[in-house]
Structure 1
Amino acid sequence: MNHTSHTRAVRFLSGLFYFFSIFIFINAFNFQHNPPGAWRQQFMPEIQGLDIADVVFLDSLTGYAVAKLNYILKTTNGGENWSIIYEDTTTVQFIFARIQFISENEGFAGGFFGLNYGMMKTTDAGQNWSLVNTPTFAEDIFVLSSDTIWLSAPKVSPAEYSAQRMVEHPGKDCGVK
């Protein structure tokens, strides 16, 4: 049988296509179950199964999170490991909703503290936190600067829970002395 260069090229390309198809097929199953860069769940038994209410990252490594009750967490390795940097140990628990940082050192965690309203403030990258009283529950916060913070909160009245109100705190140092 006389093979021309054309038929040899066609057979070579057919074989190459066949092996390439098998390679793609095998790898497709591998990526389906182990996709690169995929989501993965992390468990933090130290926070007793509480939901994480908010997460913020300052850069690719340093991030902060608040659990719905009592805990502020920090990571310095892109979220591989988290440590508790604030735990409310009082009998009246702090319910956190949001966390925001305006610099690598200064940040705020909003929520409410028992029957009082407030948020927590740090000026040393989360090593120490102090309570800042606010006129309303801080369901959502936007920190424009150290002196100006916007709060969003549900209107707490028996007649209308769905209406929203916003409060601006234009005070020096947000009330922290």
Structure 2
Amino acid sequence: MSLDTKTIAALAPEFFSGTIADREAAEATCRRLSATMADLLAVVERETELVRAGKLEEAGELQPDKANLVSIYMRGMTYVRDQTVVLGNLAPTSVEDLKRRHAEFQPVLRINLAVLATAREVADGLMRKVAEGAGSRRAPTTYGPGGSAPRTPSPADGISVNRAL
């Protein structure tokens, strides 16, 4: 679950300050967004590593932190977009650094999304195979005792999945 606006404002007040009036505020905004990107990048890389290793439960435990960081990052990106001209005038070096970091950030996110999509596809495939196996009729291929035809098998009961495991 992502953070609400009030919580984001408490965690990242730089992204709610209205108009940026001086160089110090511009630098603080860029530093905050850069720090958020670094934190999010660390979580995403860890998640990718865990999913690749098949440690899906551990990867799932990162979801709340990831959602919170994504909320702050998106608010920061919106704020920076709205303040582009002022930031470019007051902190051009920091803006260039943000652009560079953002360019490095995108491929890591693409890799993470690909790994998550692959894991989801594998899980869906496994569930589909289990459902097909549970739902198929298990017809005997031999005769019953005394040479009689075997009785028709009853359909398989449903299956349950314990997601806590």
TM-score normalized with structure 2 length? 0.26
Greater share of helix: 2
Greater share of strand: 1
Larger relative contact order (CA 8 Å, sep ≥ 6): 2
